[in-house]
């Protein structure tokens, strides 16, 4: 008999794979939605000007491509059956998701100055 916790783990992993695969592909190509791809291009142009990204001096296209590739690499890690590789994918996605938090919090402090 399959344990309910195992089923929930597989369901959450599948949802993460689907969501981040779509997000990574939309950052790299306009295949899924050209409108969203163009909006992401504009947003990443704003993100590059916010610390700490302005220290690295990456262009918006390089930054967007880098984030998209990292998301797709994490999806590949999550799809791997080995639990240690999946754990690496989970932690890497956590770091990727902390990026927008840093951008919004630092842009709020800059706008109040």
Determine, yes or no, domain membership for 98. Answer: yes
Determine, yes or no, domain membership for 113. Answer: no
Q: Distance between CA 64 and CA 70 in Å, rounded?
A: 10
More confident residue, 22 or 99: 22
The residue with tokens 């690499």 is: 73
The pLDDT score that the predictor gives to residue 103 is: 55
**Average confidence (pLDDT) over 56-84:** 89
The model's pTM is 0.78
Q: Distance between CA 37 and CA 34 in Å, rounded?
A: 5
**Average confidence (pLDDT) over 73-92:** 91
Q: Distance between CA 42 and CA 111 in Å, rounded?
A: 19
Determine, yes or no, domain membership for 89. Answer: yes
Q: At 36, list the tokens.
A: 């969203």
What does 27-50 look like in DSSP terms, one character per residue? HH-SSS-HHHHHHHHHHHHHHTTS
Domain count for the chain, please give it: 1
């Amino acid at each position: 008999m399959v344990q309910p916790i195992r089923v929930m783990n597989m369901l959450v992993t599948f949802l993460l794979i689907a969501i981040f695969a779509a997000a990574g592909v939309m950052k790299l190509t306009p295949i899924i939605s050209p409108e969203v791809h163009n909006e992401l291009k504009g947003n990443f142009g704003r993100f590059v000007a916010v610390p700490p990204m302005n220290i690295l001096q990456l262009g918006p296209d390089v930054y967007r491509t880098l984030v998209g590739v990292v998301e797709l690499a994490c999806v590949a890690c999550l799809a791997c059956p080995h639990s240690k590789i999946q754990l690496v994918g989970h932690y890497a996605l956590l770091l990727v998701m902390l990026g927008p938090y840093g951008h919004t919090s630092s842009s709020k402090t800059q706008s109040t100055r």
